[in-house]
Amino acid sequence: MSLVKAYHAGELEEIDAFIKQRSGIRHSSRQGEWLGEGVYFWENDPVRAEEWQIQKNKGAILECEIDTRFLLNLLVKSEHTIEFYDRARQRAENPAKTPNLRNQRDAQKFDLDHQVFRESQPYFQLEKGLCGVRMAFFLGDSITLDGNIYENQHIQICLWDVTAIENPRKYTAGLSGLL
């Protein structure tokens, strides 16, 4: 088992309901969400959840653990990730399927990525028994010329099925001095 700590900024009522009943947490379904539809978490990063809470006027932060064994974990090379990348490549090679979709990195809108995950989700959830996806993001420009040092990099988890959540609790720490 490989548990990671994760944080989700949401409405107070949904966070409280989830902690009590393990239901009621809303899925994000907006077009352009990079990992498709689901419940989004920042891995090991309460500060990003706090920033999102302020930016989007959310009422609470859920802190929990998520078992990565139940995720399409794009941070490791595995049978599932190889299969996902093959499927994504096939999808990318057929742009006629959705000619109006494209990603806009500068605006942090990922319509094409969203569609790839949306099309892949039923297969990986129903056929492979996975509950979500885990992926690293590198946004903005590299600090070094043509390098891989990004100030805004993080790991996000998108859960299609919240049964992968363990030990849910309300995050109560104050805002970090990093904001």
Closest CA to 12 of 66, 60, 51: 60
Task: Specify the DSSP class assigned to residue 70.
Answer: G
175 in any annotated domain = no
Q: Is residue 68 part of a domain?
A: yes
In a domain, 127, yes or no: yes
pLDDT at 178: 41
Residues forming a β-bridge with 157:
41, 134
Q: Is residue 62 part of a domain?
A: yes
Residue 146 lies inside a defined structural domain of this protein: no
Average pLDDT over residues 68-79: 96
Q: How does strand 103-104 pair with strand 152-159?
A: unpaired
What is the domain extent for residue 74? 3-140+153-170
Task: Specify if 110 maps to a domain.
Answer: yes
The total of structural domains in the chain comes to: 1
Q: Which of 62, 89, 83 is nearest to 171 (CA)?
A: 62
For residue 179, tell me if it sits in a domain: no
Tell whether pTM > 0.85: yes
Encode pLDDT of 45-70 as tens digits: 999 999 989 988 888 999 999 999 99
* CB contact set of 94 (below 8 Å; sequence gap of 6+): none
